[in-house]
Structure 1
Amino acid sequence: MDRRSFFKKAGLAGAGAAALAAPAIAQGNQTWRMVTTWPKNFPGLGVGAQRLADRITAASDGRLTIQVYAAGELVPPLQSLDAVIEGSAEMSHGAAYYWQNKSRGLSFFTGVPYGMTSRELTAWVRYLGGQEVWDEIYDQFGVQGFLSGDTGTQAGGWFREELTGVSDVQGLRFRTPGLGGQVWEKLGASVTNMAAGEIFQALQSGTLDAAEFVGPYNDLALGFYQIAKNYYFPSFVEPGLATELVVDKAKYQELPSDLQAIIRDVAQAEYDAVAADFAANDPRALETLVNEHGVQVRSFPDEILEAGAAAAKEIIQELLDSDDALTKKTAQSFADALSVVRRKTESTDAPFIRAREKYFQL
């Protein structure tokens, strides 16, 4: 699928194109609005947001109908959380690190450089105190966050030129968000964040020299291969990215307990469903990128990996020493949980993967 056909099918509308009607409430039925940061019908993420909405609607037998607005249909994509905070939507679907200007602690709930894999992140949030500190952060804004999607370990990004070392990063204009973006800044890049639908044009115009978004499944649809051919794997700054569902907390708590449970449980189910979607479709999309579009798959040089690790340690230590009590608490909770969950990953999962790669082929 090329970029033009994808966006034609997506049918993106400009901001404000959708009606701003208030939520419908009749005979106990309600309609809530979900704004997203994703293009309409966007593989994995946009489709996951729509499926989440449809499952809530179906599971509630229409008592709570979720109407989805793609990026730009109701509000600009990177104003989705603000729409919930301000009351113009009841839900948003995006990534917590997009809102690090509100609290640096939010970045821990999306992806941390050299941090948790997606399974490790889930363990922290569900069983090791992560949800509780996340709730404390979002309580300041009157919202509630839930994990809602999992892309797994992401691709490292698209680059016009091959990277041979840290010197090639100096002054590189690079789209990459969150704490990972701060790592690349320490390595010398000029970092910016922008929504998915804006990246291609910025690459095409030369505003960007490089960009990372998610991985092959999304990147094929976005058409980055038309501009850059050097595709780096894996990302060392986004080892297990999670998306989030955010809801207006007061309205959520006003719902009957069964509807609250439906929202919570569907979000959890969708976290796993999105993970399976990416696991199935990333490899096939990468094959298309390589075989049909001449993309060169590369690994980051050790010099960049080592410098990136040193930068990540500095940034995380800054957060552990933060003057902001909630940011410090979040960073400490993350660090404590990582010390636990990495044991199984490194002592059991990783050796098995190495053995399978070496000895077993079908």
Structure 2
Amino acid sequence: MKRRSFLTGAGLVAAAGTVAAPAIAQSAPEIRWRLTSSFPKALDTIYGTAQTFAKYMAEATDNKFQVQTFAAGEIVGGGQALDAVQNGTVELAHTPSYMYIGKDPTLAFGTGVPFGLNARQQHSWWHFADGAKITNEVLARYNAIALACGQSGTQMGGFFRKELNTVDDLKGLKFRIGGLGGDVLAKLGVVPQQIPAGDVFPALERGTIDAAEFVGPYDDEKLGLVKVAKYYYAPGWWEGGAMLHLMVNLQKYNELPKSYQVIMANACEAANNWMLAKYDYVNPGGLRRLLAQGVELRSFPQPIMEAALKAANELYGEISAKNADFKRAYDSMVTYRGEVLPWWQLNEYAYDTFMIRTRGRS
């Protein structure tokens, strides 16, 4: 009886093992995905965010979920990243949604629009207001879903060959700028140019363009723009807080175990924080080095800022009249901005202003 009981018990253990192992395997399968970035490897903070995301995914899954990252141009060009996700060429892309306003201008809001939100406000609107919901409803038409995965903070206004004093100085200016910022400036006479990061320096050097913006001091130094244009303007009012995204093939995403979807969301949040913190660390040093190379800092004159704001509001009204999703996103962002700015003025802005004014006292 004892031997029979032992064999019976052993059989139950073995049977349990044969049932449990496949269940575990199904909940944590081996996955190998590819990610295309919209940026070159030389821009180690932006491209590094994709690498950081891939590292977090591997570490959180005991290397079961492996993501191989590719720079812009290795699989597809930076501006084709969403297309590559949509058609299944790759499963993932690291890219800003506003790069695809040609598909739908509503996608501008996922990254940020001229005179929109700063980095923290953009992150808040994305998660707690309508940002993610509206963006992903649009992206679903392109077989994709976006997760917040990177943030530059407020960007610089770019390098210019000549000083800007009046709104008239913008007329005929060939300016490398993307997103809706180019459409706003076009209303003021600027000729916006869409040029990939790797081609910005030669275009500015040859005089094909008169000015160029990219991100901030750290990246702008790497692009070498100070060598061919000495006036460096602030702020980049078209990107008060530029959010990047992990775009995932929607079909592939829906096939993932829920646990992997959760890990992916948390890996994106960690990478998002990494990118913003990295830029906050490296941009001050980048600015000091640019100043040592002879760059001359300028702020956009108030008349230009006011004219650009007026042009932006006109543009938003025109697009809203034609595109219901755009209007929904714009109304949501404006409502949120109206609610958050009084709080910001009372507390965050007041504190930052005081600390800037008294920074030499300790």
TM-score, normalization: structure 1?
0.90
Provide the rounded CA distance (Å) in 2 between the counterparts of 1:51 and 1:270. 6
| Contact 1:158-1:210 at 8 Å conserved across structures | yes
Instruction: Establish whether residue 69 from structure 1 lines up as the match of residue 70 from structure 2.
Output: yes
Question: One-letter code of the match for 2:341?
Answer: R
Provide the rounded CA distance (Å) in 1 between the counterparts of 2:78 and 2:136. 23
Instruction: Establish whether residue 256 from structure 1 lines up as the match of residue 257 from structure 2.
Output: yes
Instruction: Establish whether residue 205 from structure 1 lines up as the match of residue 206 from structure 2.
Output: yes
Q: Deviations over 1:19-46 (max 9, x none)?
A: xxxxxxxx93111110011101423101
Aligned to 1:193: 194
Instruction: Establish whether residue 314 from structure 1 lines up as the match of residue 314 from structure 2.
Output: yes
| Contact 1:120-1:342 at 8 Å conserved across structures | no
Q: Deviations over 1:293-348 (max 9, x none)?
A: 111111111111111111111122223x3332222222222122212222222221
Provide the rounded CA distance (Å) in 1 between the counterparts of 2:104 and 2:29. 36
Aligned to 1:150: 151
| Contact 1:173-1:191 at 8 Å conserved across structures | yes
Shift in Å, 1:197: 1.2
Provide the rounded CA distance (Å) in 2 between the counterparts of 1:244 and 1:49. 10
| Contact 1:156-1:212 at 8 Å conserved across structures | yes
Bigger mean CA offset, 323-332 vs 113-122: 323-332
Q: Deviations over 1:261-316 (max 9, x none)?
A: 1111111111111110010110100000101x111111111111111111111122
Provide the rounded CA distance (Å) in 1 between the counterparts of 2:29 and 2:276. 34
Aligned to 2:19: none
Aligned to 1:160: 161
**Does the residue aligned with 1:236 lie in a helix, a strand or coil?**
coil
| Contact 1:41-1:47 at 8 Å conserved across structures | no
Instruction: Establish whether residue 118 from structure 1 lines up as the match of residue 119 from structure 2.
Output: yes
**Does the residue aligned with 1:44 lie in a helix, a strand or coil?**
helix
Question: One-letter code of the match for 1:177?
Answer: G
Shift in Å, 1:360: 4.3
Question: One-letter code of the match for 1:186?
Answer: K
Q: Deviations over 1:168-187 (max 9, x none)?
A: 11101001111111111111
Shift in Å, 1:239: 0.8
| Contact 2:143-2:249 at 8 Å conserved across structures | yes
Q: Unaligned 5+ residue runs, structure 1?
A: 1-26
**Does the residue aligned with 2:40 lie in a helix, a strand or coil?**
coil
| Contact 2:109-2:131 at 8 Å conserved across structures | no
Provide the rounded CA distance (Å) in 1 between the counterparts of 2:322 and 2:165. 38
Provide the rounded CA distance (Å) in 1 between the counterparts of 2:31 and 2:233. 45
**Does the residue aligned with 1:275 lie in a helix, a strand or coil?**
helix
Aligned to 1:294: 294
| Contact 2:99-2:178 at 8 Å conserved across structures | yes
Aligned to 1:343: 342
Question: One-letter code of the match for 1:200?
Answer: F
Shift in Å, 1:125: 0.7
Provide the rounded CA distance (Å) in 1 between the counterparts of 2:295 and 2:85. 40
Q: How does 1:1-362 map to 2 (within 5 A)?
A: 28-291=29-292, 293-319=293-319, 321-361=320-360, 362=362
Provide the rounded CA distance (Å) in 2 between the counterparts of 1:229 and 1:192. 20
| Contact 1:157-1:231 at 8 Å conserved across structures | yes
Question: One-letter code of the match for 2:46?
Answer: L
**Does the residue aligned with 1:40 lie in a helix, a strand or coil?**
coil
Shift in Å, 1:359: 3.1
| Contact 1:43-1:217 at 8 Å conserved across structures | no
CA radius of gyration, larger in:
2
Provide the rounded CA distance (Å) in 2 between the counterparts of 1:337 and 1:301. 27
Question: One-letter code of the match for 1:268?
Answer: E
Decide whether aligned partners of structure 1 residues 354 and 28 sit closer, same or farther in structure 2, where only a CA change above 3 A counts: closer
| Contact 1:231-1:297 at 8 Å conserved across structures | yes
What RMSD over aligned residues (CA atoms) do the two structures have, in Å?
Answer: 1.5
Q: How many residues align?
A: 335
Provide the rounded CA distance (Å) in 1 between the counterparts of 2:301 and 2:334. 27
Shift in Å, 1:357: 2.0
**Does the residue aligned with 1:238 lie in a helix, a strand or coil?**
coil
Provide the rounded CA distance (Å) in 2 between the counterparts of 1:36 and 1:231. 27
Decide whether aligned partners of structure 1 residues 347 and 316 sit closer, same or farther in structure 2, where only a CA change above 3 A counts: farther
Q: Deviations over 1:167-223 (max 9, x none)?
A: 111101001111111111111100022221121121122111100000101101111
Shift in Å, 1:47: 1.1
Provide the rounded CA distance (Å) in 1 between the counterparts of 2:90 and 2:337. 34
TM-score, normalization: structure 2?
0.90
Question: One-letter code of the match for 1:331?
Answer: Y
**Does the residue aligned with 1:152 lie in a helix, a strand or coil?**
coil
| Contact 2:118-2:240 at 8 Å conserved across structures | yes
